[in-house]
Amino acid sequence: MDSTRHTQAPTTHRRRGRVRRAVPFLAAATALVAAGTAVVANAGPVRPAAAPRVDGNRIDVPVQGGTASIDTASLRVTARTDDGRTVRLSDAPATAPGTPGRITASDGAAHWSYAGSGLDFTARADHGRLSVTAAAHRDTTLNWPVTGTDPATDAVQFPRGEGLSVPVGDRFWNSSAAGLAGSAADMSADLSMPMWGYTLRGTGRGVSYLVPTDIGSTLSFSSDQGRLHTTTSHKFSHADATDDYTVTFALTDGSPVAPAVDYRGWLSQHGQLGSLRDKIAANPQNAKLLGAFHAYLWGDARTPDGIAKLKKLGVSRMWLGYDADGSPMSAAAVTAAKKAGYLVGPYDSWANGQDPKTSDSPTSSWPGTVYPDFCVQGADGKPVPGFHDRGCYLSSQAFEQAEPSQHYLAERTRQMTANGVNSYFLDVDAAGELYQDHSAAHPMTQAQDRANRLARMKRLSAGDKLVLGSEAAGSWANQVLAYDHGSATPVADGLWPLEKDRQTWGGYAPAKAPGVFFKPVDLPADLATAMYDPKYRVPLYETALHDSVVNVERWELSFDKLPQQRNTRALLAMLYNVPLNFVLDGPSLQQHGAELASLQKYFAPLHEAAGTQPMTSFRYLTDDHQVQRTVFGDGTLTVTANFGTTSHDGLAGGCVDATLRGQHGTHRLCPAKVTG
């Protein structure tokens, strides 16, 4: 059993445990999204870019929907909308960078400096946004922008996993029980996308913020007089190549998914938006993700007979994974899975190294002197301890330098795929945490670490033609991955102490059906609210990346692990057009196989039709947010989910309706009737 795998938590938990782990047409585009009309990046009316206007200490920058103004004396940013409203985009930072120098204009941008803090600023219009870049002459920190302070601010949207939209005055989210106020999220690891946004009450307006320079940037949440607001911090470090910091500001129509529309546009404009259609064209095996549920297999479920039982139940598509516990699926079982039309592949990790003589994890055992020679070194010259302080984290730069001659990664891949698998799950690589390596033999910045990971993931997906997934994929990996396990889950920190409580959560026995996977758990009320209350959930990740990456919940949160959330999770999966994930052994396949098959039978045609389409609309149909609707493509698929207990417009509570274009009638699913 690979205990590294079984105790793997996302980057937030790893880091804290070791703290010793708008587009040019944005206003119009989100209106189209809300109306269910297809939105195509770089389409729609675009205000021609105009040079900033300078008046004393004020810089006016034309943006889509109005004009943004920067007061260089305070770094306060406001906007005047085309309909005459004033919107506060950022307050002044608590500590001002100093007295600004004279503003100059050139190349369509305004420039000014703060000699006292060694910061040079540039502001310009960029595809309808205000873009502000700060460059540092020395290491320092800037706590700016300060956002969400406009009196009309109603809700904040941020991409914790799939995404949340939280009313800024909500009593729960301002309390310690929610764990949000007073927290900080590393934008390169703790958020699935480097953006956030706000809606403004009674204005039909909102604001979107993007941070392309996410490495070194942090989004912090504060509660002031019962209202949430956020502050972004950037740590300028020459050693880690974070000397530049860019923030963009955009006016939106206030849709709860408007920040994701903005971010999708930015990705497209910068050539960073992947396409599942293109991935399928490059490797037709990727098409097998469409309509597939995901499951990790244990015990008899790993055998040819287990595969045959799934097929006999009528399950048309599945992604099947197995743990790197030293007993991989047999070639016969893999062959059976592929003949059934399924994807099948191992879990692997290239992030950890231990002494092969004492290693407790097969994935942490490497040949020769990879351990300890490839260990990431901290500033103190000591190896950075691995997960749970076992061994060390391995440097991606050390692997990249050695790979042309030693082929450590290629050989690992060959060994892991020798049984004929057609998929691969590479844990952690797409999730962070990114490392700065101080080793003289393989020095590396966090940006280089990211580039190395992207390069080696691309070799797996493009070179080895494997259907590639990774843990809780950050948006920066969307072009090299076909699926992820984790970015669909808005994990709250309260999950980690619960998972450590082996008596409640389950341990690693029995070997063929560990309780950590199979033991049902009732989430505490506060944790259930923070993670799964549908009135706070919004599909930010799907709005930005639905047609690029197939997004799935975390591997340890299988559908049957949380019985109190099964109905909500089934409705969310159908509404967002994303797969459910399971964990199966022989007995659970016998007990729950028919339920899995019924849910997959409903999901498959919807995902096969819309899995390669963008999510073009999300909206609430009721004021209490209990009834929600999504649209994919130009109406290819429309889904309405009722999370409430009373009927709405003919849709019973706890049920979901789906309509496929070109087909008569509505397809209805009431998960409670299927799962019992």
Q: Any residues with CB less than 8 A from the CB of 352 and at least 6 apart, and which?
A: 4, 361, 363, 364, 386, 387, 390, 391, 392, 393, 394
Helices (H), 340-445: 370-373, 396-406, 408-416
Phi, psi angles (nearest 5°) of residue 646? -115, 155
Q: What are 363-382's pLDDT values in tens digits?
A: 999 999 999 999 999 999 99
| Cα-to-chain-centroid distance, residue 49 | 31
Q: Any residues with CB less than 8 A from the CB of 360 and at least 6 apart, and which?
A: 3, 4, 354, 390
Give the per-residue pLDDT at 46.
52
Tokens of 631: 């649209």
Give the per-residue pLDDT at 30.
39
Give the per-residue pLDDT at 557.
97
Three-state secondary-structure class, residue 116: coil
Q: Mean pLDDT of successive 10-residue segments in the chain (676 residues)?
A: 43 33 34 34 51 96 98 98 96 94 96 96 98 97 98 98 98 98 97 98 95 98 98 97 98 97 98 98 98 97 97 98 91 98 97 95 95 97 93 98 98 97 97 93 98 98 97 97 98 96 94 94 98 98 98 96 98 98 96 97 98 98 98 98 98 98 94 84
Q: What are 265-323's pLDDT values in tens digits?
A: 999 999 999 999 999 999 999 999 999 999 999 999 999 999 999 999 999 999 999 99
Q: Tokens 């992947």: give the residue.
A: 274
Give the per-residue pLDDT at 676.
60
Burial class (CB in 10 A: 0-12, 13-18, 19+), 141: middle
Q: What is the pTM of this model?
A: 0.94
Give the per-residue pLDDT at 326.
83
Give every strand in the sheet of 667-669, ordered side by side.
615-620, 627-632, 637-642, 655-660, 667-669
Give the per-residue pLDDT at 31.
38
Spatial contact of 51 and 532, defined as CB atoms under 8 Å apart: no
In b/e form, how buried is each residue of 78-93, taking b as 16+ CB within 10 angstroms?
A: bbbbeeebebbbbbbb
Spatial contact of 242 and 234, defined as CB atoms under 8 Å apart: yes
DSSP character string of 425-481 = EEESTTT-----B--SSS-B-HHHHHHHHHHHHHIIIIIS--EEEEES--GGGTTT-
Phi, psi angles (nearest 5°) of residue 102? -65, 140
Please report, for residues 93, 94, 213, 220, the alpha-carbon distance to residue 141 in angstroms, rounded to integers and kept in the order given.
Answer: 11, 12, 14, 14
